[in-house]
Amino acid sequence: MRANFNSMKKILLLAATALIVERASAQLSIAPELGVQMTNQAMKGDSSTSGSMKTGFRAGVNLGMGLTKKINLHAGVFYSVKGSQDEIFGIKAKSIFNYIEIPVYINYNVVSFGGNELFVGVGPYAAYCLNAKAKITGSLLGQSFDEDEELPVGNDETTDVVKPLDFGANANIGFVSSFGLYARAHYSLGFANIMTGGDSDNSIKNNGFGLSVGYQIKF
């Protein structure tokens, strides 16, 4: 009797393991994605200001895994161009920050119909700044300006301007078709002060929103 019970437990365990493996493998996906984003930088110093939105692009790949029929985990690696711009007395100043970004989303499928899905999700992101620069153009009092200045990236307060690490939170909403093509809108809010040597009274934080399209390949 005990031997039969142990055999039944082994059979049930093997069946459950096979079912889990089958569901996990059926719900894995990879998705190249390309989009544009409008970014800004909230600056705090003698006064709190924000520049105008700057257009950048974002390209990379997402890996997805179904956790349940309604909930999916997505993590990606993206090349992301952020920054801001402003204009004073005809002088345009633009900051350009190039990041490698890793966003993670927990997405929930709100509606499913005919193999199509509408989803929403939230999650954190972490990013590493590859390089940064400021560009100044325009003219004032008959003098023209067209200058590029590299902004040193690092944690040395005596030589660097931009901290390499950025992190924050993301939210997204999107639609994925039955044949894998999808589109989504996303919003990001930076928590990290990316000013080297900055503090609670002197800070720069990234934020922005974007639109992107991709193609999801399930395997």
- In the DSSP assignment, the letter for residue 52 is B
Q: How far apart are CA 120 and CA 186, in angstroms?
A: 10
Q: 192 in a domain, yes or no?
A: yes
Q: 10 in a domain, yes or no?
A: no
Q: 5 in a domain, yes or no?
A: no
User: What pLDDT sits at residue 21?
Assistant: 53
Nearest in space to 64 (alpha carbons), one of 32, 30, 33: 30
In the chain, the DSSP E strands lie at: 28-44, 48-50, 54-66, 71-88, 91-113, 116-140, 143-150, 165-176, 181-190, 203-215, 217-218
Q: What is the CATH number of the domain that holds 186?
A: 2.40.160.20
Domain count, the chain: 1
Beta bridge mates, 153: 162
User: What pLDDT sits at residue 85?
Assistant: 87
Q: 23 in a domain, yes or no?
A: no
Residue with tokens 């934080």: 205
Query: Could you list the residue range(s) of the whole structural domain that residue 41 is in?
Result: 28-218
Q: 162 in a domain, yes or no?
A: yes
User: What pLDDT sits at residue 209?
Assistant: 96
Q: 152 in a domain, yes or no?
A: yes
Give mean pLDDT in consecutive 10-residue pieces for the chain, a chain of 219 residues: 58 59 66 97 72 90 92 96 85 91 97 94 98 86 78 94 97 96 97 93 94 94
Q: 14 in a domain, yes or no?
A: no
Q: 84 in a domain, yes or no?
A: yes
